Amino acid sequence: MSDTPMIDQLETGPWPSFIKDIKRMAAKNAMCKDLLGLLEMSYKDKKTHWKHGGIVGVRGYGGGIIGRYSDSPEKFPNVSHFHTVRVNQPSAWFYNTGALRYLCDLWEKHGSGLTNLHGSTGDFIMLGTTTDHLEDIFTDLSEHGWDLGGSGSDVRTPSCCNGMARCEFACYDTMNLCYDLTNEYQDELHRPAFPYKFKFKMSGCPNDCVASIARSDCSIIGTWRDDIQQDNAAITEYAKGGKVDIANDVVAKCPTGCMSWDGSKLSIDNKNCNRCMHCINVMPKALRPGKDKGAMILLGAKAPIVQGALLSSVLVPFIKMEPPYEEFKDLIRRIWEFWDEHGENRERIGEMIVRIGKGNFVEEVGLEPTPAMIKEPRSNPYIFYEEYFDEE
Amino acid sequence: MASLEEIKDYLFHKVESYAGKKQVKVPHLTQEVIEHFGEAACSKKDVKEALKELIDEEKLVYGYFGGTTIELPHVEGSANA
């Protein structure tokens, strides 16, 4: 009989199992063998046998290493330490095979060989090493041009979609901004000094392929402020081709009803378009984002930890997002100053905004309230126009 | 104006005073140091610089306990088990 009957069941499902990977590595790595044993014990006992937190890191850095210790070192000595290393990923996860080979070889030399591509932060995650290997890993990474990512109460490793590198819808250069912010905020990334974590995620268009609206404290989503670019000849081709039923597949599904189709001409009331991207996604050869491109900035998403989950909501409806991004960085500086001053312990920025009120927050960070500061299209704005009520 | 050495010294002793009693975090420490010296004599930037030096000198280290903490260097209890 197998030593791990409970976790063996995870291999019987329709999806690839992480247990299969661990077993494959267990043939040549003692850590992985003990990891299977510890996991089996956790499933049997219905509780984790990992202890979380403590002091683990490399010199000068407050982030990048997540400490894991087992509570059963006598039973599974090879996983008594099983720290995670977060490596700052290249923008949009572009690697060449040489880079991947280097990272995997490094990890087989110093750790369990198990990786996670990519963690929800965006980092290249290396799972399982011991404290005495950490400085060597860091030195080796640094010598090869890599750096650790964020963890703890700091700026987490910024991440982005592949933007202009591969996507015709990108409204700004996400990879450039991601690289720029990573360099700009090195101190904030490696020396945690915030009330809690702060994540940037960048999507080039409202399709939001990196789900920044749900997964980052600051979502930077590409958008445009003029009209959708429309190629009427290409629309006719779609109509003739028969693959797209424009009336039902495009017009009827427009969330704001801003489109009409008379059988030969598509009309768009652009003022009522909420940039949902549906029509553009269905007819990419005929419709494109407008020419006056930039980004909207949203604030406040988080997963449930201390409090419940939040989605980001609009803070700046449109900003030109071009190097050196001074306007954006200036806004971030004001936001951080306010959060640093008024944020409570382990309070994410979105939670603080809920606590103090969006109107107050907007005023404190020096923005003019606009009706576009909403949670989602067609919602009421947060802002109460007191002067208006006073006049009445 | 408080000198960098004075700020470092006070910061270190603050962390020392919390050792074993409280998991102290950077915003809390920053506030305490500024209150001690007064806003005119010590800014957030000064505290940040002092902390950076103490960390680089390995007199203080970062820890994690529901967010990042500042601690005196010690061997993690769990590591000895």
Q: Chunked in runs of 10, what are the mean pLDDT values of chain A (392 residues)?
A: 90 92 94 96 96 82 92 94 96 96 97 92 95 96 97 95 96 98 96 95 97 96 98 96 94 96 96 95 97 97 86 94 97 96 92 91 92 70 57 49
**Exposure b/e, A16-30, CB count within 10 A at least 16 = b:** ebebeebbebbeebe
Report chain A residues whose CB lies below 8 A from the CB of B28: 345
Please give the backbone phi and psi of residue A201, each rounded to the nearest 5 degrees, phi first: -135, 140
Interval B22-66: pLDDT, tens: 989 999 999 999 999 999 999 999 999 999 999 999 999 999 888
On whether any CB of chain B is under 8 Å from the CB of A152, the answer is: yes
The beta-carbon neighbor of A345 closest among B25, B48, B71 is: B25
Distance separating alpha carbons of residues A87 and A103, to the nearest angstrom: 9
Give the A window 263-322 contacts with B, CB below 8 Å: none
On whether any CB of chain B is under 8 Å from the CB of A60, the answer is: yes
Residue of B nearest to A72 (CA): B81
**How far from chain centre, in Å, is Cα A235?**
34
The beta-carbon neighbor of B78 closest among A60, A69, A194 is: A69
Report chain A residues whose CB lies below 8 A from the CB of B11: none
Name which of A325, A377, A378, A381 is nearest A213 in CA terms.
A377
Contact at CB, A55 and B78, closer than 8 angstroms: no
pLDDT of residue A347: 93
Distance separating alpha carbons of residues A138 and A160, to the nearest angstrom: 24
pLDDT of residue B65: 83
pLDDT of residue A304: 87
Please, what is the Cα angle at A110 between A120 and A35, to 5 degrees? 65
Report chain B residues whose CB lies below 8 A from the CB of A67: 64, 76
pLDDT of residue A382: 60
Give the predicted TM-score (pTM) of the model: 0.92
pLDDT of residue A377: 61
Q: Are strands A218-224 and A200-203 parallel, antiparallel or unpaired?
A: parallel
Amino acid at A50: W
Nearest C-alpha of chain B: how many angstroms from A93?
Answer: 27
Contact at CB, A63 and B30, closer than 8 angstroms: no
